[in-house]
Amino acid sequence: MPHHLLDKREARVRRMFGQIAPWYDFLNHLLSLNVDKRWRDTTAKLVPPGPAADGPVLDLCTGTGDLALTYDRAAGGTVPVVGADFCHEMLVRAAKKAAAAGAADRVRFVEADAQALPFPDDVFQLVSVAFGLRNITDPDAGLAEMVRVVRPGGRVAILEFSKPRHWLLGRLYRWYFRYALPLAGQILCRNKESAYRYLPESVLAFPDYEALAARLTAAGLTDVTFRPLTFGIATLYVGRKPL
């Protein structure tokens, strides 16, 4: 599907993630060449949670809850963590993971649309999203909501796939994304919404580096930085809400 025809309607994206929920963790490992866990750990290390007095942590587009649980571990279980996602099937898996990790009383999962969050203004010390911003139908609306619910002085951390800039690695990566990955995905997990074609296409179509950092600034964040990880296969973007 050409980039300009990428179908990101809420109902379609929700249905697609519902269909691939059983395979989602495996898919993340496949998409990231198995370094996604390290990227989440790096995110929690570079943008650590503060004391509980600063407020809870919100992990948006939490999926099966991996980054929410990473933040729970990073805080030593001392800070409440909320994971929000609009796909019920994903949250069922996230809740099971939290229970298995003994974190069910500290990490709470909420079914919510990132473009209209059910939280008051200025609540969270930190809002994170891993590999989810590009799947929001209107990413700028999602960013505006993240900025709204984070406390003044609080931070927004976005971990997202990006396109490596090295000429050879960039070419190999695009080949892997365009051809190898959709083929492997469809063989392993057939689904009506062509998830394995959508996911790589959504990465290739989404702005990265300076372009995405500029969107964070436009959303009202200050001190925006970005840090490419693993040769730029993923990038961590961080901004602060002005006091």
Of 138-142, 209-213, 218-222, 230-234, the range with the lowest mean pLDDT is 230-234
H/E segment holding residue 66: helix 66-74
Percentage of residues in the chain having pLDDT higher than 70: 94
- Contact present, 129 and 159 (Cβ < 8 Å): yes
pLDDT at 2 over 80: no
Cα–Cα distance, 159 to 128 (Å, whole number):
8
pLDDT at 197 over 80: no
Q: Indicate the pLDDT class of residue 84, thresholds 50, 70 and 90.
A: very high
Name the token pair of 178. 């365009």
pLDDT at 193 over 60: no
SS3 223: strand
Q: Indicate the pLDDT class of residue 192, thresholds 50, 70 and 90.
A: low
Q: What is the pLDDT of residue 3?
A: 40
* Global confidence as pTM: 0.92
SS3 226: strand
Q: Is 2 exposed, middle or buried (0-12, 13-18, 19+ CB in 10 A)?
A: exposed
Integer-rounded Cα Rg, in Å, for the chain is: 17
- Contact present, 212 and 226 (Cβ < 8 Å): yes
Average pLDDT over residues 117-136: 96
Q: What is the pLDDT of residue 56?
A: 98
Q: What is the pLDDT of residue 17?
A: 85
Q: What is the pLDDT of residue 189?
A: 67
Q: Of 3.30.565.10, 1.10.760.10, 3.30.460.80, 3.40.50.150, which CATH number belongs to 3-240?
A: 3.40.50.150
Locate the domains of the chain by residue range. Answer: 3-240
Distance from CA of residue 205 to its chain's centroid?
A: 16
State the average pLDDT for the chain: 90
Average pLDDT over residues 43-63: 97
H/E segment holding residue 50: none
pLDDT at 5 over 70: no
Name the token pair of 223. 């001190």
Q: Indicate the pLDDT class of residue 78, thresholds 50, 70 and 90.
A: very high
- Give phi and psi for 225, each to the nearest 5: -130, 160
Q: Indicate the pLDDT class of residue 28, thresholds 50, 70 and 90.
A: confident
pLDDT at 74 over 80: yes
- Contact present, 65 and 107 (Cβ < 8 Å): yes
More confident residue, 174 or 218: 218
Name the token pair of 68. 């929410």
pLDDT at 178 over 70: yes
SS3 content of the chain, % helix, strand, coil (to 5): 50, 20, 30
The residue with tokens 């709204």 is: 148
